[in-house]
Structure formats: C-alpha cells, structure tokens
Amino acid sequence: MTTAEWAKHFETCKTFLGRLSPSYLVKFVESTAFHESAIECVSRRIRLDVVRQCLKMAKQSQSSDPDEKQQWSDAAQTLQRYLTHLQRVDDGVFGEAAMDLEDPVVQQYATEFELSRGMPDKLEAMLLRCAMSEHQPGLLPSLLSCCPPNTVDKQPTDIYSDAILLASEQLREPTKKLHPVFETVTPEDVLERILRQVLDEGEEVFVADMALDLLRPFCLDTNVAIQVRLKVLEILEKSVALSAEDENLLCLLRVQTLVWSEWPDYEVHESLELDDVTMQTMFDELVERCTKESSCIVLGKLLQCGTPLESTRQTDPAKNPWCRLLCKLFEVGGNPRDTLDAAGSLFLSAIANCNLSVKCCRHVLEGFKRKGSVLHLLRAAFSTIHQEVHKDAISFLRGLSDVSESDYDESLLERILVLHLLPEMTSTPLYEPLVAHLMANRDSAVEHFDVDLAIQSLLDADKTAEAGTLLLQCRRVHPALSTFSAALKAARQWVGRTDS
C-alpha cells in the first residue's frame, strides 16, 4: 500500500474512528501499527502515520465528563509513547548499537523489539529470552542499549541474574513451564549457555561472584533432588572457580549419588565431612558389600571423588584400594567378557589416579592372566609406565606359539609402537601383526609410524635381518624374493646410505 492509498483509506475511516472510545482507539493502533502482519505488509512510514493521526484525534477529543476526559488524556500519553518508540526504530536505533540486521537472529529480535511498543514488560521478556538463548557475544548488551530511557532499568548482569534464578526455579518445579524457552531447552542447558555467554562477554566478576551467590542456596537445598543439585554444581565447576566450600559440597553430592545408586540403605549425611579417614572407612565397608560388576564400577568412581586416599600410595596389593577393588571384581564378575572390559577400564582409572607400584600391577595382571584373555592382559601391561611390567608382558608373549586376531587390536599395536618396543617384539608371535600395522600407517605423520625410525631401531638392537626384511617390504619387493640374504644385503645398503 502506498502512502497516498493509505491517506485515502484513512480519510474514509476517519468518521468511524472518531466514534471509538479511548481504549478502542489505542487497540486499533496496536492492531494496525504493532502487529506481525502489519510489519510484513505495511511500511513503517505508514504505520508511523497511523499513530500520528490517532494521537492527533485523541488530543482533539473533547468531553465534559471528567472521567472520559482523563481516559482521552491517558490514551494520548500511551499513543505518544508508541509514536516515540516507533520513531526511535525508524531513526536507526539498531544501527547506532552496531547490530547486524542482515543476521537472521538479530532480525528476529529487531522485529520483537519493534512490536514491543516500548512496553517495559515486553522489553524485559525479550531480554530475558535473549539471555537464556544461544546467541553471539554482545547481543544482549546491544539490545539493552536500544531500549528507551526509563523503560528497563537494568544492566546485562541483572538480566543474566533473572535468567539464572528462573532456570533454578524451573529445576525446583519441573512439572511447570515457567518460560516458553523451557519448552525446547532444559534449564541445565540454559545455565550452561548463560555461563558460557558471560565468559565470552568478559563478565568474569559476574560469573565468579554473582552466579555462585545465586546458585549456592539452590545447591544446598536438600528438598531438591541430589542429581539436579549435582548437575548444577558440575556446570559451575566447568565455568568458574569454586570455593573450597562449594568443592566439598560437590564432592559430597557425587559421593551420595554414587553410593545410593548401588547401596540406597547406606547412610551418607549432608553434614558428613569427607576426610581421608571417613572415605577410607566408607570404601572398606562398601568393597565388602560388592557382589556384582556394577558395584565395583561405582566404587571405582567413588575412589576418584575428591583427594585420593592415602592408601592409594600403598605398594602392598593387599592394602592398595585399587588392587583390592580389582581383585574383588575378578571374584564377583559374571560374564567373562564384561568382567574383563570392566577390569580394563578400572585398571586404566587406577594408573591414571595413582602411581600403582610394579608389585601392584603384577598382582592385578595375574588376575587378567587367570581370566585367560591375552588381549586384556597385554592392554593392561603396556598401559603402565613400568618397564619391568613391559618385560613381563614380552616374556609372556614369547611363551605363546601363536596369536589369533582376537588376541590384539589396533590400539594395543599402536601402544607398543609408541613405547618403541618393536625390536623386543621380534621373537614374539605379535611381531608380524605389529609390522603389518606399521606398514598400513606408514604415510602417517605420527613419529611412531615412521618406518625409517623403526628400521633404525631394529639395527640398533642388532636385528639386521628384521631391519632388512622391513626395508624390502617398504620397497614392495615380492615376498618370494625377500630371502634372508636379500634382507641382509638391503639392510647393509641402507646402513651405508645413512652413514654417508
């Protein structure tokens, strides 16, 4: 519709509009100038004229009734606010805030801002949704700067605070939907988004002080489910530096969650102080109550809560909690494969969380050996940092006449290459799979797949024939021609080339 066409239509309707009450005149303006379809179909210039003309009518309306006179005065004030708001948009308030109106997200907020009529409640709702939604850094402060003076008396941190409190309240009342955002996003995700956004915007002081202050009462509220409070604390842990008090609470909630998942009758009070003595006593009692793999897995996670137990430094397998737990797992395990997988994971956790002694490692490896899995035994042995344990595993391999494909995998072969143990493996049945794995990855830029370095390591270990054979494989010499003498000759030529 052109401006001229609009003027003609308005003149036609002027008599009818003059019969409207003050409130209906305001509603007419809202439906024609501040409606989504109006933005799509009618230019802002025409919508501005709608507001101007109706404002003029409201100001010119006369009434002898004091109440009606006041109603027209109120309507005129309302329409004046609408006109000021729309004029502010037309004057380029978004451009002043350096907002990219080509961005679809910004366009969406710009439209919502325009439709808000400058009403504080609508502007605050828009800002709150922005704080809880994924967006680029700086969008919330930019939108806030566009709001007319005296409409939203808040800083970005205040909006984020409102969003955090709303998300925590939604967690308390999961059956209610306190905001449309929660129809598609969980309150936990909202909290993560807020913390990530304020970090992106450089609000570290806000994160450290305000977020913790806002959420600490929630995390201490025993009426809220443990899992929920634990999740909130873990979100904070990833984003801010927790105080000692908060870290203790986080540890306690983790302990409660783990223990009660397997032993719901075991008492872990909110006031419990998780010192070394308490945690050791808890472990000693629970390890005796382990009757299945899942119990041992939970207890392994419990050992990783808080400061490691002093007993994890024990070199005596009978006193080291990780060794005791692994032995218990071998004892109570059901399905052999599941038990071995669980034991392998527990062993990796053990060596990652404490420096298991050679004696402890050997004790656990005996358990793997009794279970009869070459793969799990070798995985565990070569995952340690102890050369003595590596030598034990190599000796074990030398005692085998052959290996099947189920006795090794790519991760095991790669680990052996990373440890530079190829020369030591030449007299074991695992040597050929190792070489095949090396050759298959020879084009990799990773050092342990460097064939030249592998050949040199074999020569340094006086494995000349093996070095020559590997060299012939690199040259893709047919196996029928890869004789012992050919291998030696190739190795000597390679040495001569490298020496020169």
- What digits encode the pLDDT tens for the residues 361-391? 999 999 999 999 999 999 999 999 999 999 9
Contacts of 158 (CB under 8 A, 6+ apart): none
Contact, 441 vs 453, CB < 8 A?
A: no
Judge whether 81 lies within some domain.
yes
> pLDDT tens digits for 208-256?
578 888 888 888 888 888 888 888 888 888 877 788 888 888 899 899 9
- Distance between CA atoms of 368 and 345, rounded to whole angstroms? 12
Judge whether 386 lies within some domain.
no
Judge whether 82 lies within some domain.
yes
Contacts of 172 (CB under 8 A, 6+ apart): 218, 221, 224
Q: What pTM does this model have?
A: 0.71
Q: Which of 207, 204, 199 is closest to 137 using CA atoms?
A: 199
Query: What pLDDT score does 146 carry?
Result: 86
Of the residues 68, 91, 114, which one is the last residue of a structural domain?
91
Q: Pick out the chain residues at pLDDT < 70.
A: 1-3, 6-7, 10, 15, 62, 64, 97-98, 134-135, 200-208, 475-500
Query: What pLDDT score does 482 carry?
Result: 46
Judge whether 52 lies within some domain.
yes
- Distance between CA atoms of 20 and 79, rounded to whole angstroms? 15
Contact, 491 vs 471, CB < 8 A?
A: yes
Domain containing 421 equals 417-499
Judge whether 449 lies within some domain.
yes
- Distance between CA atoms of 418 and 395, rounded to whole angstroms? 19
Contact, 231 vs 253, CB < 8 A?
A: no
- Distance between CA atoms of 274 and 278, rounded to whole angstroms? 6
- Distance between CA atoms of 161 and 141, rounded to whole angstroms? 14
Question: Long-range contacts for 471-476 (Cβ within 8 Å, ≥24 apart)?
Answer: 473/435, 473/439, 474/439, 474/442
- Distance between CA atoms of 464 and 61, rounded to whole angstroms? 109
Of the residues 91, 109, 139, which one is the last residue of a structural domain?
91
Backbone angles phi, psi at 147, to 5 degrees: -65, 140
Contacts of 147 (CB under 8 A, 6+ apart): 118, 123, 127
Judge whether 467 lies within some domain.
yes
Query: What pLDDT score does 478 carry?
Result: 39
According to DSSP, residue 385 is labeled S
Query: What pLDDT score does 461 carry?
Result: 92
Total count of domains within the chain? 2
Q: What is the 3-state secondary structure (H, E, C) of 48-84?
A: HHHHHHHHHHHHHCCCCCHHHHHHHHHHHHHHHHHHH
Contact, 315 vs 357, CB < 8 A?
A: yes
Query: What pLDDT score does 419 carry?
Result: 97
- Distance between CA atoms of 208 and 216, rounded to whole angstroms? 12
Spell out a b/e string for 211-231, using b for 16 or more CB atoms within 10 Å of the CB, else e: bbebbbebbeeeeeebebbbb
According to DSSP, residue 480 is labeled G
Of the residues 91, 111, 137, which one is the last residue of a structural domain?
91
Instruction: Please give the full DSSP string across 295-345, using - where no structure is assigned.
Output: HHHHHHHHHTSSSPPGGGG--STTT-HHHHHHHHHHHH--SHHHHHHHHHH
Q: Which of 476, 458, 475, 478 is closest to 467 using CA atoms?
A: 458
Contact, 118 vs 81, CB < 8 A?
A: yes
Query: What pLDDT score does 496 carry?
Result: 52
Query: What pLDDT score does 484 carry?
Result: 47
Contact, 159 vs 127, CB < 8 A?
A: yes
Judge whether 86 lies within some domain.
yes
CA 203 vs CA 137, 165, 239, 483: distances in Å: 11, 18, 12, 70
Judge whether 225 lies within some domain.
no
CA 488 vs CA 67, 333, 493: distances in Å: 113, 51, 9
Instruction: Please give the full DSSP string across 179-244, using - where no structure is assigned.
Output: SGGGGTS-HHHHHHHHHHHHHHTT-HHIIIIIIHHHHHHHHH-TTS-HHHHHHHHHHHHHHS---H
- Distance between CA atoms of 372 and 340, rounded to whole angstroms? 10
